[in-house]
Structure 1
Amino acid sequence: MRPLNGIGGALIVDDSADADPQSTLDALDWLQAVTDGGQHRAIFVFGDMDYLGDYSQRGHRQVGQQAAGIVDLLITEGAEAAAAGRAALDHGLDRRQVLITYGADDVITRLKSVETLSPDDVILIKGGATARMERITRVLLADNGDRRYLPRAGLLFESGSIISHRPSWVEIDLNAVAGNVRMIKKIIGKDVSLFAVIKADAYGHGAIPVARTALLNGAEMLAVANIQEALDLRDAGIDAPILIMGYTPEQVVRQAVRQNITVTLYDLELARAFDRAARDAGGKLRCHVKVDTGMGRLGVLAPDAVAFFRSLVNLRNLEVEGIYTHFATADEDPRFMNDQLEIFRSVLLPLRAGGFTFKYIHAANSVATLTNPDAHFNAVRVGLAMYGLRPAPHIPYPPEFRPAMTWKTIIASIKTLPEGHPVGYGSTYRTTEPERVAMLPVGYADGFRRAPHVTPVVLVNGKIAPVIGRISMEKTVISVDHIPEAAIGDEVVLLGRQGD
């Protein structure tokens, strides 16, 4: 452990070289000893511990349990360390004393912007080697010259290294998600609520870490596809409002009531069944009504909407807090989107005149959020844009947005093939001259599709390299004739950015 001077006069104790359960518990004992008596505030910043295998959950929870009796503020970073945060809550720490994060930026923002650090603060920073918790220490230092004392100070890279047993892996940049959410909030303004759409495991980015990151950076509600996705979030200790945008079976309404989960209404008989189930559960079921203005899927048809709401008045166990619709062609046909918008407004007008009020009125998806302020109402639902994905090539896209997902592999072999040499199954490609090629240990079994009539490209050392021949189950060949520096072990990006 190394004591260092921090911003605001705080004492930073960097113990980020490595961590296991016993060394972390010993560090917490030390923190208790130096802060005992109440004159100093004990802050513990904790990252994932490495290589615990089946013991990981238990080991991280042990740390959280002990921290609950020692620290004034616990901040965790990472999926494994989150278990320590939940354990601390289970053992008595107030929710205001625990912050569960999945990115260094959120930790730094809390410590630099929300907390006012002072000479009365002692900050213990600890985590496994791959957690790279010294990244947090270096930002909190009062003297940048002290960075030379930090573990791995001589490394040239800033992000944590990826250790994978597979030669193909996905990296999720939650700091990119955080920045994208903040930019979306800047676009829509403080009076419009942001619903973070995290259905389908947050579009493959990881629902729980994305949910926490979005909420920490300005999202007010989460939107999912079904009850199971909502319950997974509740099981992870996320207590923010959640809207189920898809079908909810009558049999799970009791769980929705008890877990404070909001469902979508679009059918009167189903609404009556929900009302009975909520009454039996002894509570009220929060609901948003979906209006079909041209999508043709779930939703009350616009001409039937007013009668539908009048029928809901008698269902005393339903609390209708929102109304919404969904655009079918926002990225393709703005005129039809505006037609849908007018239909939606034509539904809202008589409802408001009839005395109906709504906490949330929402219609905008990512495209409408970025291009049509008239569609914002007082809430928007954003999925693709939050992950830094452009909804369509022609859609205006803030340059500050960053894609959160990168799919990578490595070069496993390089050789020069003679003229006329076939490549891959079916010999669909033959060299026309001596050609330098590289083999990648990834294929359609990993999801790297061999779509017909499409020539995929990858990035090697920041340069585009085309796939040649058919993609096999676990092998792909690329041409690197124009990349003479390419070598075995070089990183290859299949999806995302590399270099400039």
Structure 2
Amino acid sequence: MYIFILMNTSIGRAWAEIYLDRLINNYKIIKEEVGDKKIMAAIKADAYGHGALEVAKALQKHGVDMFGVASVEEGIELRKGGIKKKIIILSPILNDQIDACIEFDLIPTISELSFFEKLNERLIKYKKGISVHIEVDTGMTRTGFPYDESISAIKKIQSSPFIKIEGIFSHFPLADTDGAFSKEQIERFKRLISNLNNAKVKPKFVHMANSSGIFRYPDSHFNLVRPGISLYGLSASPGLRYHPGFKPVMTLKSRIVNLREVPPGTPISYGHTYRTRRRSRIATVSVGYGDGYPRILSNNADVLCHGKRARIVGTICMDLMMIDVTHIPEARSGDVVTLIGEDRTEEIRVEELAEKSNTIVYEITSGIGPRVTRVFKDHNKIVGMRSLLERWNKIKGG
């Protein structure tokens, strides 16, 4: 009974608020930008930390065409959660996952012939057909058929009566930073598609544009685009803003759990990396690097409390961090602290934390851990929640 009460009355020590109405706002902006092109929403890595199933349900309701994930497991989660739209696995899968791909109606990517051969063997055994997408490397040097070998490989794949080539795609490595190289990639990909059409290989979908491609290179739209970070109201690089109407979907919050006054010269946290320079009010906040907040931000970032910025002081711990609230006399134990998002007239954006962490926004949001409760909102009304306690209850059969 205690567990049941806690699950229904508390959002926990740290929580991320996911605004589904903002997600749909961003989706509609993208849809307007690309016109009649189809949209594959990238929701890999738990929708970049935002909650893949809940994000997928919202987008499916508003007519998104398909979803892109990175693994079979991610695809199965969506299917078991009631997602009916096409699900494309954009990364290579293991040979022993082919059966699961068939069972759950997931569309795999073929990026090398050895996987094609194994896939074809399984399809012959089951006498079943499957749709696939084929990746061609035009400059990423990660996965995909080498450009010069791609046509012969694709022809071989097309020869299988059990495999339908539904899509062919490539990937930008520098879409947000190097226009010349990206435009060269687009031209290479165009030549490839033209040569494939001449060879009577005509896939239904041709796609290359990620978020930066969508807003910087219209020629990369082809007939399908793959927005990821822009769906969540964020940009790939510092200083790059895709559209003024985009709204960040995630906020991250916690609470003050301890508050004390200390004299000048008081050392704080592990390593004593900070000492107070005056008589100070130090608040302990119940969030740390174990929740995905970067430890590198120790002594180097702010949070918001009562609409004011408060500096993180001392080393960020696994479960806790300390902030200086000397200039916020109204601060009390139990008060909400905003680590990402708005509080009155102040705002801390993911881009700010990424820049100070010498990383990218993708890593910040996708790193927010599972013990941070996700609270899903639609126009400030709570419409769902996902927490560790909910998962525990499912495991126990509650």
Match of 2:18 among 166, 172, 189: 172
8 Å CA contact 1:194–1:380 kept in 2: the answer is yes
Deviation track 1:206-245 (CA, whole Å, cap 9, x = no partner) reads 1111111112223100111111211121112211101011
Q: Distance in 1 between matches of 2:32 and 2:306?
A: 34
Instruction: Report the Cα offset of residue 388 of structure 1.
Output: 1.6
Q: Give the direction of change, closer, same or farther, for the CA distance of 1:440–1:251 in structure 2 (3 Å limit).
A: closer
- Counterpart code for 1:294: G
Partner of 2:243: 398
Q: Distance in 2 between matches of 1:216 and 1:175?
A: 12
- Which deviates more from structure 2 when the two are superposed, residues 179-188 or residues 247-256? 247-256
Deviation track 1:85-129 (CA, whole Å, cap 9, x = no partner) reads xxxxxxxxxxxxxxxxxxxxxxxxxxxxxxxxxxxxxxxxxxxxx
- Counterpart code for 2:290: A
Partner of 1:440: 285
Q: Structure 1-normalised TM-score? A: 0.65
Instruction: Report the Cα offset of residue 405 of structure 1.
Output: 1.6
Q: Does 1:163 align with 2:10?
A: yes
What residue ranges of structure 1 are gaps of 5+ in the alignment? 1-49, 57-129, 131-161
Task: Give the 3-state SS of the residue equivalent to 2:57 in structure 1.
Answer: helix
Q: Give the direction of change, closer, same or farther, for the CA distance of 1:254–1:469 in structure 2 (3 Å limit).
A: closer
Q: Does 1:256 align with 2:101?
A: yes
Deviation track 1:452-490 (CA, whole Å, cap 9, x = no partner) reads 786121111222211011222333211123323322222
Match of 2:29 among 172, 180, 183: 183
Q: Give the direction of change, closer, same or farther, for the CA distance of 1:217–1:489 in structure 2 (3 Å limit).
A: same
Structure 1 segments of 4 or more deviating over 3 A?
Answer: 50-54
8 Å CA contact 1:195–1:381 kept in 2: the answer is yes
Partner of 2:224: 379
Residue correspondence of structure 1 range 195-234 to structure 2 within 5 A? 195-234=40-79
Partner of 1:389: 234
Q: Does 1:276 align with 2:125?
A: no
Q: Distance in 2 between matches of 1:409 and 1:296?
A: 41
Q: Give the direction of change, closer, same or farther, for the CA distance of 1:411–1:376 in structure 2 (3 Å limit).
A: same
Residue correspondence of structure 1 range 469-484 to structure 2 within 5 A? 469-484=314-329
Task: Give the 3-state SS of the residue equivalent to 1:194 in structure 2.
Answer: strand
- Counterpart code for 2:220: A
Q: Distance in 1 between matches of 2:83 and 2:298?
A: 45
Deviation track 1:58-109 (CA, whole Å, cap 9, x = no partner) reads xxxxxxxxxxxxxxxxxxxxxxxxxxxxxxxxxxxxxxxxxxxxxxxxxxxx
Q: Give the direction of change, closer, same or farther, for the CA distance of 1:163–1:175 in structure 2 (3 Å limit).
A: farther
Q: Tell me which of the two structures has the higher relative contact order, counting C-alpha pairs closer than 8 angstroms and 6 or more residues apart.
A: 2
Match of 1:247 among 75, 92, 95: 92
What residue ranges of structure 2 are gaps of 5+ in the alignment? 346-398
Partner of 2:175: 330
Instruction: Report the Cα offset of residue 324 of structure 1.
Output: 0.2
Q: Give the direction of change, closer, same or farther, for the CA distance of 1:440–1:344 in structure 2 (3 Å limit).
A: same
Coordinate RMSD, CA, aligned: 2.3
Partner of 1:59: none
Q: Structure 2-normalised TM-score? A: 0.81
Q: Give the direction of change, closer, same or farther, for the CA distance of 1:418–1:181 in structure 2 (3 Å limit).
A: same
Residue correspondence of structure 1 range 51-450 to structure 2 within 5 A? 53=4, 163-164=10-11, 166-189=12-35, 191-450=36-295
Alignment identity in percent? 35
- Counterpart code for 1:181: Y
Match of 1:456 among 295, 301, 310: 301
Task: Give the 3-state SS of the residue equivalent to 1:382 in structure 2.
Answer: coil
- Counterpart code for 1:483: I
Q: Give the direction of change, closer, same or farther, for the CA distance of 1:453–1:340 in structure 2 (3 Å limit).
A: farther
Structure whose alpha-carbon radius of gyration is higher: 1
Instruction: Report the Cα offset of residue 300 of structure 1.
Output: 0.7
